[in-house]
Chain A
Amino acid sequence: MLLRHTPVEIKERKSLTVNPAKACQPIGAMYAALGIHGCLPHSHGSQGCCAYHRSTLTRHYKEPIMAATSSFTEGSSVFGGQSNLLQAINNIFTIYNPDIIAVHTTCLSETIGDDVNQICRKAKDDGKVPEGKYVIHTNTPGYVGSHITGFSNMVKSMVKHFSESTGEKKNQINIISGWVEPSDMREIKKLAKNIGVKIVLFPDTSDVLDAPQRGKHSFYPKGGVTIPELKSTGDSKFTLALGRFASEAPAKELEKKCKVRYRVVDIPLGLSATDRFVTACSRAAGVNVPDSITEERGRLVDIITDMQQYFYNKKVALFGDPDHLIALTEFLVDLDMKPIHIISGTSGKQFEKRIRKILECKVPEANVKNGATADMFLLHQWIKNEPVDLLIGNTYGKYIARDEDIPFIRMGFPILDRIGHSYFPTVGYTGGMRILEKILAALMDRQDRDSLEESFELVM
């Protein structure tokens, strides 16, 4: 047994988190910043933060994750990090020549109270920011929220720094992507294109974190939302914010700053959420949904009709990030499955409310918890008390899956021990098909493994 010390009996914990279902803000800010073209993220804190975030993101995306750090020492922690950040900005522009540096703070610089806004202004005043280049910043103390909050904060800063309203509306809508894979961002763009909507997707890590192997490392790959595109978001007709937790704050900021109305829809993961996304896109742009999309949808529904007998009432445990879990839970319910244990480390009252609403007819008794001490240790204990047929979550789930002998599907962040998740989408109708294929394979592989020789079947 790997998690051999996890008891069945659940004791209430107030202060101890064991096996967290969240990471911290700065890593989200770093990921979001990589979705801007020509951007070098910068971590204003100790070296370790930047090293940890780069390592984790690299292990997940299997791609170069370039980011710099202010390399605080004890001295800078006492006297403030201004001199470190000014030096860093100068060095980065001189050596690595990005179009934009996206600074995020850390526990350290926040606790000592560094005024990053003022330091960035000073860098500009001192001539450390070359003409036509930008330094943006966001506050991401690790002791507030989670990696999703940090992602959201960095995207909000993109709006704060770049979005402009020229007074002339453009024939386009904004889509704020939320924390999804590069392949998902590509799929969202494809869906929008097929619907016939011109969009600005931000952030956009496709062609950045799934860059092709061409024999040379392009420090700033061709993908990412460009600065002119970001500026133009203030002139867009409408904003679709995908996922309340990651995308509502920047959408709200954009409405406040440039009067661009917004609507929050779920990440288009699964049938119903994708339906709502497609409908929202077509309404926002005033175009009919083309038949090609309806056909794509039809393929997904066709697969569900083929598969649903194997899914019916199967119990599922899931953990991960709130926006994903909301859409995924709904999809599982659409498949007649029973999500009975759901955990997210990210706090926010909306989460449980929304999940309960989705589950109210199917699984009113489900265990749902998010925020402090909603960790994988608790999830494991729930599973010990009421076993499940399937576990869905990030790589860390493999320990529970092995100990409890549960079929396991990797979804979410981080996935450290597999390759491919960043190349194949889970959003849209196509992504839905992929999720279905994975679920069925996991369940049937288990049936094949466990069946008696005489009941080992060739055909379905």
Chain B
Amino acid sequence: MKSDTKLPEPCGIQEDILKKYPSKVARKRSKSIVLNDPKTEQEIQANIRTVPGIITQRGCCYAGCKGVVLGPTRDIINLTHGPIGCGFYSWATRRNQTRPGPDGDNFMPYCFSTDMQDDNIVFGGEKKLREAIQEAYDIFHPKMIGIFATCPVGLIGDDIHAVAREMKEKLGINIFGFSCEGYKGVSQSAGHHIANNQIFKHVVGLDDTVKEGKFKINLLGEYNIGGDAFLIEDLFKRCGLTLISTYSGNSSVDHFANSHTADLNLIMCHRSINYVAKMMEKKFGIPWLKINFIGAEATAKSLRKIAQYFGDKELIKQVEKVIGEEMPAVLEARKDVEPRTRGKLAMIFVGGSRAHHYQYLFSEIGMKTVAAGYEFAHRDDYEGRKVLPQIKVDADSRNIEEVVVEKDPKRYRLRKTEQELDALKKKGMEISKYEGMMSEMEPNSVVIDDISQYETEKLIDKYKPAVFCAGIKEKYTVQKRGIPMKQLHSYDYGGPFAAFKGAINFYREMDRTVNTKVWRMIKAPWENEPEITATFVVE
């Protein structure tokens, strides 16, 4: 990120953090804490096991699979096969906003569970699962049912896929399972992968209808938290782009089924879905671009990139027109807010892409990101896709299926020839490329993967940032230290923050966050006074 002033020296922060850890833990954590120097190629340890007991932000595979990827999809019954907790905690707790589709389906406010009891653990839960599917079908008549495995299901050996096949045959609707037991992988990331693989195998390609539209796109890795996707959808429409599907926000399984007919894939969250783009490229011939709609400048840049990719004069003109319509309000808001935010420090520890994307928004109002890291990302999200060949497959990633895809003889369609793509690349367009977060961060910034509670506290105490961004679990430990905290998973009931209007929301939100009066009222007036000798005592 561009900046005219330097970040504070991180002098000794790494040693300061590590010295409290037992030596084995210190050795392990030292590789996940990097003092950033964007000029050199720095390696960071990511996507490895969390140290037990360290107090991590991370969740589990099931959370990533059911909660993140399928959760935002309205017209499928997501049935949790397991004891009640997993289904309960993932019930409407992410703010993926959704409008019912034209068919009126919207199961998102519901939680479906087999609520396994101890006798199901002892004698197996397949019978209960079968019955639950039948009951769900009889009451709700859904077009699709997904079954999500929880920890005990894998351990007792319930074959959810066999039950799915049997019930699919019996009921004549699409039913398939996700082996997303909580212990798989090392974070939610494994669950994203399992979810996307299954959608790819069981849904994508089922509907070959070619929709009208000159420029057909899929938006991958946009979850419509607080209505982000609604704003992006509006932009696409005004620019003349036809959105075939969003994975997955305000999304429909019907859209997924048809998504292979798009001309171009746009990746928003690289971490959660880049492999889907790769599979679709190989199987159906759809190229992909990394784009980002967080930040007004980034949004404009992304729209221009899409227009240039298609190379259509009308489209390029229309995109410029839309940007021209949106920017004045953005600049006005920025001008108003910036004097009160300039030079202030931010820290961002969330997700797989947000920690990167939100730095753009901060820099637009003159705030500097002094520390950032991801909760469940991999090395390529930090260092760029160039490190992909170097990443070794370890025991924890080996159990996540890598779907082998081949060219689909019927559905493959070359969108652009090698020569056309080369010509675009020569003009400076980045196709199938992502440089990661670290190269764009300033020297002296601190990058930490899978940050622990202790590391969070150390960072805050050292830098006293103006705002700390993370999730709900961190929210009040930060604020109890007198530092404002903004949730960037759920936006604290706020947002949307994407695209141009979202950027304006964010500027105003940060203005409020870092300047609200309450932080100056923490000390009682008498706390700063010297002790008073009693002259009058109440009996």
| A residues neighboring B (CB under 8 Å) | 2-5, 7, 11, 13-20, 22-27, 42, 45-49, 51-56, 58-59, 62-77, 84-85, 87-92, 94-96, 106-108, 111-112, 141-144, 146, 211, 213-218, 345, 372-373, 377, 396, 399, 416-417
Contact = CB atoms under 8 A, between A and B. Distances in A.
Contacts of B457: 217
B522 A16 contact: no
B83 A75 contact: no
Contacts of A20: 84, 87-88, 91, 111, 113, 115
25 contacts: A5-B107, A16-B79, A17-B115, A18-B110, A18-B112, A20-B91, A45-B151, A46-B151, A52-B63, A52-B86, A56-B93, A70-B52, A71-B58, A75-B395, A84-B52, A90-B22, A95-B454, A96-B453, A107-B121, A108-B155, A141-B118, A141-B121, A215-B482, A216-B480, A216-B481
B152 interface: yes
Interface stretch (B136-144, B269-277, B313-321): B136-144
Q: Tell me which of B116, B129, B135 has the highest count of chain A C-beta atoms within 10 A of its own C-beta.
A: B135
A188 to B, nearest CB: 25
Given A142-B83, A144-B117, 10 more contacts: A16-B136, A19-B91, A23-B84, A46-B183, A58-B472, A74-B395, A87-B53, A95-B21, A107-B150, A107-B152
Most chain-A Cβ atoms within 10 A of its Cβ — which of B52, B58, B104? B52
A216 B56 CA distance: 21
A142 B84 contact: yes
Nearest to A81: B52
Contact of B138 (A11, A17, A142): A11
Identify which of B93, B473, B523 gathers the most chain A CB atoms within 10 Å of its CB: B473
Contacts of B86: 48, 52, 142
Contacts of B185: 73
A19 B109 CA distance: 9
Given A11-B139, A111-B156, A215-B522, A96 B473 contact: no
A106 B151 contact: yes
Nearest to A108: B151
B42 interface: no
A301 B373 CA distance: 57
Contacts of B177: none
Interface string B57-76: 11111110000000000000
Given A73-B49, A73-B186, A47 B56 contact: yes
Given A17-B84, A20-B88, A55-B472, A89 B151 contact: no
Contacts of B53: 42, 68-70, 87-92, 95
Given A95-B20, A143-B120, A71 B49 contact: yes
A456 B509 CA distance: 39
A460 to B, nearest CB: 34
Interface in B436-462: 452-454, 457
B196 to A, nearest CB: 18
A51 B132 contact: no
A15 B114 contact: yes
A94 B86 CA distance: 31
B60 to A, nearest CB: 2
Contacts of B60: 46-49, 51
**Interface range on chain B: under 10, 10 to 19, 20 to 34, or 35 or more?**
35 or more
A396 B57 CA distance: 25
B139 A49 contact: no
Contacts of B352: none
Contacts of B452: 95
Contacts of B493: 417
B209 interface: no
A77 B476 contact: no
B50 to A, nearest CB: 4
Contacts of B90: 52
Contacts of A3: 109-110
Contacts of B340: none
Interface string B93-116: 100000010001111011111111
Which of A14, A17, A75, A111 gathers the greatest number of chain B CB atoms within 10 Å?
Answer: A17
A23 B117 CA distance: 13
B85 interface: yes
B187 interface: yes
Contacts of B481: 215-217
Contacts of A19: 91, 110-111
A47 B100 CA distance: 33
Contacts of A52: 59, 63, 85-86, 89-90
A143 B116 contact: yes
Q: Which 9 A-B pairs rank lowest in CB-CB distance, beginning with the nearest?
A: A48-B60, A24-B85, A88-B53, A46-B182, A52-B89, A91-B53, A15-B131, A217-B480, A51-B59
A17 B112 contact: yes
B475 interface: yes
A59 B396 CA distance: 31
Contacts of B478: 217
A143 B471 CA distance: 28
Interface in B308-336: none
A52 B50 CA distance: 16
B136, B452, B457, B476: which has the most chain A beta carbons within 10 Å? Answer: B476
Contacts of A42: 53
Interface in B150-197: 150-152, 154-156, 181-187
B54 A74 contact: no
A62 B89 CA distance: 17
B473 A54 contact: yes
Given A3-B109, A58-B473, A47 B182 contact: yes
A115 to B, nearest CB: 16
Contacts of A69: 50, 52-53, 56
Given A16-B132, A108-B182, A143-B117, A48 B155 contact: no
B395 to A, nearest CB: 6
- Most chain-B Cβ atoms within 10 A of its Cβ — which of A19, A22, A216? A19
- Which of A66, A85, A87, A345 is the most central at the interface, judged by chain B CB atoms within 10 Å of its CB? A87
A206 B227 CA distance: 37
A193 B91 CA distance: 41
Contact of B88 (A16, A23, A76, A214): A23
Nearest to B493: A417
B85 A23 contact: yes
B85 A49 contact: yes
Contacts of B109: 2-3, 399
Contacts of B156: 111
B525 to A, nearest CB: 14
Contact of A85 (B52, B62, B131, B396): B52
A238 B297 CA distance: 69
B402 to A, nearest CB: 16
Contact of B152 (A5, A17, A143, A377): A143
B131 A16 contact: yes
A56 B93 CA distance: 9
Given A3-B110, A142-B85, A51 B25 contact: no
A98 to B, nearest CB: 11
Contact of B396 (A16, A64, A67, A74): A74
A95 B472 contact: no
Nearest to A2: B109
Contacts of A75: 395-396
Most buried by A among B107, B151, B481: B151
